[in-house]
Amino acid sequence: MPYNKGDILTIDITDMGIGGEGIGKMDGYTLFVKDAVIGDKVKVSIMKAKKGYAYAHLDEVLTPSPDRVTPPCPKAKSCGGCSLQALAYPAQLKHKQDKVRNDLIRIGGFDAEYIDGILKDIVGMDKPVRYRGKAQFPVGRDRDGNIITGFYASHSHNIIPIDDCIIGAEEYADIMRIIKDHMKHYDIPPYNETSGTGIVRHVLIRKGYATGQIMVCLILNRGKASHKVGIKPMYLTGQNELIDKLQRITGMTSVSVNLNTDRTNVIMGDETVTIWGEDKISDIITPNDSDGITYAISPKSFYQVNPIQTDRLYSLALKYAKLTGSEIVWDLYCGIGTISLFLSGKAGHVYGVEIIPEAVEDAKINAKNNGIDNATFYTGKAEDIKLSEEPNVSIDQGEPSKDDTIVLPRPDVIVIDPPRKGCDEVLIDTILKAKPLRIVYVSCDPATLSRDLKLLTAGGYRLDEVTPVDMFPHSIHCECAVALHRV
């Protein structure tokens, strides 16, 4: 080990890590420095030294980066959500663009010159605040026993109390204040992760930006309440009073409780009960070149959190799919059918596959509500799909077989939009066997994207274009839309 605990060094910060920490190098040795940003010259002291790297404490910023700014949120330093807030927005965008480029070269194994030819400029936001249509606030107590809500500090379950989150909707603060006051008034305890006792675990809020509709779902450490037909079940003391206050918030459309008694980190349980208003809210997305599509969204369904950037992301997916009206399209990891339904207007038939049954139900309703009859949705794992061996299988032969496997007809285009861990290798094999003319890969993790692109290009596809889209300003996350074609 070249350095020991307590050693003091001066270094330049040249990169940022996945937790938003600054990264600097000293003779090839890597130093991770929390709260330092790209472009800073800093004095640090080594806290923990390992063979190839060390964690160091930021003692002093000697020369601040020209891109260093005062974070717009006073809690940015402690909250685990916005780890890039001390970096000016254009520099955040540059960092994400560089990360995508580096991952494609380092993990994907692509030639730097080739990547520079096909990697487009990242699509940023004009005003990168108040963009999030969804927030999940954990509920707990501070050291003095007061009820608090906010967000987790990075890599921990310590709640940083936050009333107004600058990337969330303005209404979130009022909603959380109403819920906290109600819990205090009726002495309703927050859930305690260590003991498994207490009642209120999380509060999920969603807002449909185009419709203004708001949904609140309280996640409770409770089983199903018994109730008589026609009488509303009670899950919380003073429930009607709470509902009364929440429904005065402009746009409030749905109040529900989700029941989760499991001792796990998984936020939501299996059962959701609407206690006021609608079961779902709706929102409208209108990418270029398409009519707006209205979506019904359940508390548990995945829905892109940034509506403005979603329009841009889906416009790219549509462009990359190059549909002419007759194609068979698979939309894998389809959620509530957001991408499928856009593509359906220009495709022969779209088959959507998604693991969460509630999302698939929403997808079917969304198709119906928008008068779309050439999209079929299945609940299942993308990696379990079987390809129909019949060359000219008719479109309605995509029904699941008796043993629940999903058999789909040969596709012309496959769209994949997996979670951060990327695609299962079995799915990559299925895609290569299915031999679509084009693949559109929508990714929320450049590292797993690069890993999967390496396999797809080795299997006979050529990478045509990669466009990063900043769906999550101030966080380290970066979305990409990618076009490939069969060679």
Closest CA to 101 of 399, 478, 484: 478
Q: Is 112 helix (H, G, I), strand (E, B) or coil?
A: helix
Beta bridge partners of 482: 441, 466
- Residue 136 in tokens: 């999940």
- With CB under 6 A as the contact rule, which of the stretches 104-112, 341-349, 412-420, 448-456 interacts with ligand SAH? 412-420
DSSP 1-52: ----TT-EEEEEEEEE-TTS-EEEEETTEEEEETT--TT-EEEEEEEEE-SS
For ligand SAH, which is the closer residue by CB, 283 or 354? Answer: 354
CB 298 to ligand SAH: min, Å = 12
Q: Which residue has the tokens 């330092």?
A: 36
State which of positions 355-374 bind ligand SAH (CB under 6 A): 355-356, 359
- Residue 139 in tokens: 């509920």
Query: Are the C-beta atoms of 42 and 60 separated by less than 8 Å?
Result: yes
Work out which of 354, 358, 412, 452 binds ligand SAH, going by CB under 6 A: 354
Neighbours of 374 (CB within 10 A): 15
Residues 6+ apart with CB under 8 A from 50: 1
- With CB under 6 A as the contact rule, which of the stretches 87-95, 378-386, 394-402, 448-456 interacts with ligand SAH? 378-386
For ligand SAH, which is the closer residue by CB, 54 or 415? Answer: 415
Closest CA to 236 of 218, 216, 263: 218
423 is catalytic: no
State which of positions 205-264 bind ligand SAH (CB under 6 A): none
CB 417 to ligand SAH: min, Å = 4
The CA-atom distances, in angstroms, between 365 and each of 131, 258, 274, 331 are: 26, 21, 18, 17
For ligand SAH, which is the closer residue by CB, 21 or 331? Answer: 331
For ligand SAH, which is the closer residue by CB, 276 or 377? Answer: 377
Using CB under 6 A as the binding rule, whether residue 267 contacts ligand SAH is answered as no
CB 356 to ligand SAH: min, Å = 4
AA letter at 458: A
Q: Is 304 helix (H, G, I), strand (E, B) or coil?
A: coil
For ligand SAH, which is the closer residue by CB, 40 or 331? Answer: 331
CB 165 to ligand SAH: min, Å = 22
For ligand SAH, which is the closer residue by CB, 168 or 335? Answer: 335
Work out which of 9, 125, 316, 382 binds ligand SAH, going by CB under 6 A: 382
| DSSP E strand boundaries for 75-199 | 134-141, 147-152, 159-161
Work out which of 21, 327, 412, 417 binds ligand SAH, going by CB under 6 A: 417
Q: Given 165, 217, 444, 478, which residue is catalytic? A: 444
Neighbours of 344 (CB within 10 A): 23
The CA-atom distances, in angstroms, between 480 and each of 99, 120, 230, 312, 487 are: 11, 10, 49, 11, 22
Integer Cα distance of 212 and 209 in angstroms: 5
State which of positions 425-444 bind ligand SAH (CB under 6 A): none
Work out which of 77, 141, 381, 454 binds ligand SAH, going by CB under 6 A: 381
For ligand SAH, which is the closer residue by CB, 76 or 360? Answer: 360
DSSP 103-114: HHHHTT---HHH
Residues 6+ apart with CB under 8 A from 96: 122, 468, 470, 478
Work out which of 76, 353, 414, 463 binds ligand SAH, going by CB under 6 A: 353
For ligand SAH, which is the closer residue by CB, 125 or 176? Answer: 125
CB 333 to ligand SAH: min, Å = 3
State which of positions 282-341 bind ligand SAH (CB under 6 A): 302-304, 333-335, 338-339
CB 309 to ligand SAH: min, Å = 12
- With CB under 6 A as the contact rule, which of the stretches 182-190, 272-280, 284-292, 350-358 interacts with ligand SAH? 350-358
CB 422 to ligand SAH: min, Å = 10
Q: Is 462 helix (H, G, I), strand (E, B) or coil?
A: strand
Integer Cα distance of 386 and 405 in angstroms: 7
Neighbours of 186 (CB within 10 A): 13
- With CB under 6 A as the contact rule, which of the stretches 22-30, 33-41, 266-274, 352-360 interacts with ligand SAH? 352-360
Determine the distance from the C-alpha atom of residue 399 to the mean position of all C-alpha atoms in its chain, rounded to a whole number.
29
Which H or E element spans position 203?
strand 200-207
In the complex, which residue's CB is closest to ligand SAH?
Answer: 335
For ligand SAH, which is the closer residue by CB, 150 or 411? Answer: 411
Interface size with ligand SAH, residues (CB under 6 A): 19
Catalytic residues: 444
Enumerate binding residues for ligand SAH (CB under 6 A).
302-304, 333-335, 338-339, 353-356, 359, 381-383, 417-419
